Structure 1
Amino acid sequence: MLSTRWLPGPHVPGDTPLVVSETAFQLNRAIDLPRACWAGWQLSKLWPELEGAVALRLWVNPVRRRIGSVSVWREGTDLDRFVRLRAHVDIVRAYRGKGTLTTRTWESIGVPSG
Structure 2
Amino acid sequence: MPTAVRFAPWKPGPAGRPADGDGEVVVSVTEFTPHRPWAAACVHVAGLALRRTWQDVDGAIGLWLWTTTDLPRPRSGSVSVWRDEKDLLGFVTRPDHRRVVRAYRHRGAMRSTAWRTGHFDPDATQETARPLLTGRTPWPRPAGTRP
Give the TM bin, normalised by the shorter chain: over 0.9
Aligned with 2:48: secondary structure? helix
Partner amino acid, structure 2, of 1:110:
F
Provide the residue aligned with 2:122 in structure 1. 112
Partner amino acid, structure 2, of 1:35:
C
Q: Percent identity between the aligned chains?
A: 38
- Residues 10 and 51 of structure 1 are in contact (CA less than 8 Å); yes or no, is this contact kept in structure 2? yes
The answer on 1:46 being equivalent to 2:53 is yes
**TM-score where L is the length of structure 1:** 0.92
User: Which of residues 47, 62, 80 is equivalent to 2:69?
Assistant: 62
User: Which of residues 28, 31, 34 is equivalent to 2:38?
Assistant: 31
* Structure 1 stretch displaced more, 103-112 or 72-81: 103-112
Aligned length in residues? 114
**TM-score where L is the length of structure 2:** 0.73
Partner amino acid, structure 2, of 1:76:
E
**Structure 2 unaligned runs (5+)?**
127-147
The answer on 1:93 being equivalent to 2:117 is no
Aligned with 1:78: secondary structure? helix
Larger radius of gyration: 2
Partner amino acid, structure 2, of 1:57:
W
CA distance in 2, matches of 1:86, 1:62: 29
**Structure 1 residue 2: Cα displacement:** 2.2
**Structure 1 residue 62: Cα displacement:** 2.6
Q: Tell which has more relative contact order, 1 or 2 (C-alpha 8 A, sep 6+).
A: 1
Runs of 4+ in 1 over 3 A off after TM superposition: none
Alignment RMSD (CA, Å): 1.4
